[in-house]
């Protein structure tokens, strides 16, 4: 489904209307452009910790989150949703969304923790850090993918609490988690940045970028579930492997991690097997494509993640990607780092 400027503006007007109302009612505080605290005593939260931050559209073309979050703040403003604690909410990169681009000058979701502030997105990352992310206990960051998904999924660097949060917020959906060196060499993603500051962070990938109503509902309900999970105190500070195992079992969550990465060969011919989506099952030894005249194969059974077909890598993405596909494999709790 194509996103349109008119839809973005309509949802953005609803977001502004709801937040203006909440500010007037003393139930929200504006921290910076499109960065708010909402809930009881929001205006007195000068420097306290923020239990939950909901972030959408850090990537401008991933617009389902704007629709979901504007509906969420609308329901809070109409008193249909009562917040038990103060929640941080933000639309990450509205200027890029209005242009239908992933970003304007630099990938915002690879700009956290940066020490350079010359580019627009580097400055926006710093503002998000200073106002919200540095004091966030749990981050829910809503994203969308380039291609279709077999299923919504969550993805983030591993901690036991972040994994439990993902399983409880998106029950029954697969989780991709990883550890060791950063996911991207360019800079930190929001979830990793919040974890480095001592909080927990997860990224939800609802499906292919656009205003798909099913994805908007999924994003919206994940926001409500995040509040329920944190209000019930389901993830305490003393949260270990035993508690994690119980949560994964109760939510029927399958956990995956990296199995294989196929780098994008700049200036070389590549042909990726047609029809792959996020979480398409892949068999061990299955041919995935042809790279500079030579076939390449899946080293083990698992699922496809972030496949990129060069012809679909439109100008939205500015430059050639670093990778053509990743494969993930199911892992057990015993394989997670201690």
Of 139-147, 218-226, 251-259, 295-303, the segment contacting Zn ion by CB under 5 A is 139-147
- Beta partners for residue 154, in sequence order: 175, 204
Selected from 38, 54, 59, 212, the binder of Zn ion by CB under 5 A is 59
Q: Are 152 and 166 in contact (CB under 8 A)?
A: no
Least gap, CB of 153 to Zn ion (angstroms): 13
Using the minimum distance from each CB to Zn ion, give the nearer residue, 3 or 251: 3
Least gap, CB of 178 to Zn ion (angstroms): 16
Least gap, CB of 183 to Zn ion (angstroms): 12
Using the minimum distance from each CB to Zn ion, give the nearer residue, 160 or 308: 308
Of 57-65, 78-86, 172-180, 252-260, the segment contacting Zn ion by CB under 5 A is 57-65
Least gap, CB of 268 to Zn ion (angstroms): 27
Least gap, CB of 62 to Zn ion (angstroms): 5
Using the minimum distance from each CB to Zn ion, give the nearer residue, 18 or 304: 304
- Counting residues that bind Zn ion (by CB under 5 A) gives 3
Of 51-59, 66-74, 75-83, 165-173, the segment contacting Zn ion by CB under 5 A is 51-59
Of 4-12, 61-69, 181-189, 262-270, the segment contacting Zn ion by CB under 5 A is 61-69
Using the minimum distance from each CB to Zn ion, give the nearer residue, 22 or 94: 94
Selected from 143, 146, 273, 326, the binder of Zn ion by CB under 5 A is 143
Q: Are 23 and 39 in contact (CB under 8 A)?
A: no
Cα distance between residue 103 and residue 85, in whole Å? 32
- Here the contacts of 179-182 (C-beta below 8 Å, separation 24 or greater) are 179/336, 179/337
Using the minimum distance from each CB to Zn ion, give the nearer residue, 59 or 329: 59
Using the minimum distance from each CB to Zn ion, give the nearer residue, 77 or 155: 155
Of 62-70, 186-194, 229-237, 281-289, the segment contacting Zn ion by CB under 5 A is 62-70
Residue 278 backbone class (left: φ over 0; alpha: ψ -120 to 50; beta: rest): beta
Q: Does 146 bind Zn ion (CB under 5 A)?
A: no
Least gap, CB of 238 to Zn ion (angstroms): 33
Of 142-150, 171-179, 270-278, 285-293, the segment contacting Zn ion by CB under 5 A is 142-150
Least gap, CB of 109 to Zn ion (angstroms): 6
Using the minimum distance from each CB to Zn ion, give the nearer residue, 155 or 272: 155
**Residue ranges that bind Zn ion, judged by CB under 5 A:** 59, 62, 143
């Amino acid at each position: 489904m194509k996103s349109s400027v008119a839809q973005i503006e309509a949802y953005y007007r609803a977001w502004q209307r709801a937040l203006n109302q909440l500010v007037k009612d003393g139930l929200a505080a504006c921290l910076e452009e499109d960065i708010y605290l909402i809930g009881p005593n929001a205006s007195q939260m000068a420097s306290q910790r923020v239990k939950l931050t909901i972030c959408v559209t850090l990537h401008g073309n991933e617009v389902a989150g704007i629709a979901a979050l504007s509906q969420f703040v609308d329901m809070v403003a109409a008193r249909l949703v009562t917040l038990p604690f103060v929640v941080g909410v933000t639309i990450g990169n509205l200027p890029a969304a209005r242009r239908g681009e992933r970003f304007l000058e630099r990938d915002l979701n690879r700009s956290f923790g940066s020490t350079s502030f010359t580019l627009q997105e580097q400055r926006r990352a710093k503002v998000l850090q200073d106002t919200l992310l540095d004091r966030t206990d749990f981050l829910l960051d809503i994203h969308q993918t380039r291609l279709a998904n077999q299923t919504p999924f969550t993805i983030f660097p591993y901690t036991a609490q972040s994994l439990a949060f993902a399983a409880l917020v998106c029950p029954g959906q697969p989780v991709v988690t990883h550890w060791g060196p950063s996911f991207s060499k360019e800079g930190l993603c929001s979830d990793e940045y919040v974890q480095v500051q001592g909080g927990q962070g997860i990224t939800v990938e609802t499906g292919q970028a656009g205003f798909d109503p099913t994805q908007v509902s999924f994003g919206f309900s994940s926001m409500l579930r995040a509040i329920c999970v944190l209000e019930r105190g389901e993830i305490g500070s003393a949260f270990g492997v035993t508690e994690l195992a119980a949560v994964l079992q109760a939510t029927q969550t399958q956990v995956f991690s990296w199995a294989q990465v196929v780098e994008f060969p700049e200036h070389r011919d590549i042909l990726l097997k047609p029809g792959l989506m996020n979480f398409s099952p892949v068999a061990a030894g299955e041919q995935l494509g042809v790279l500079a005249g030579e076939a390449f194969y899946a080293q083990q059974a698992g699922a496809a993640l972030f496949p990129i077909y060069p012809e679909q890598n439109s100008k939205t993405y500015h430059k050639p990607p670093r990778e053509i596909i990743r494969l993930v494999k199911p892992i057990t709790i015993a394989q997670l780092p201690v």
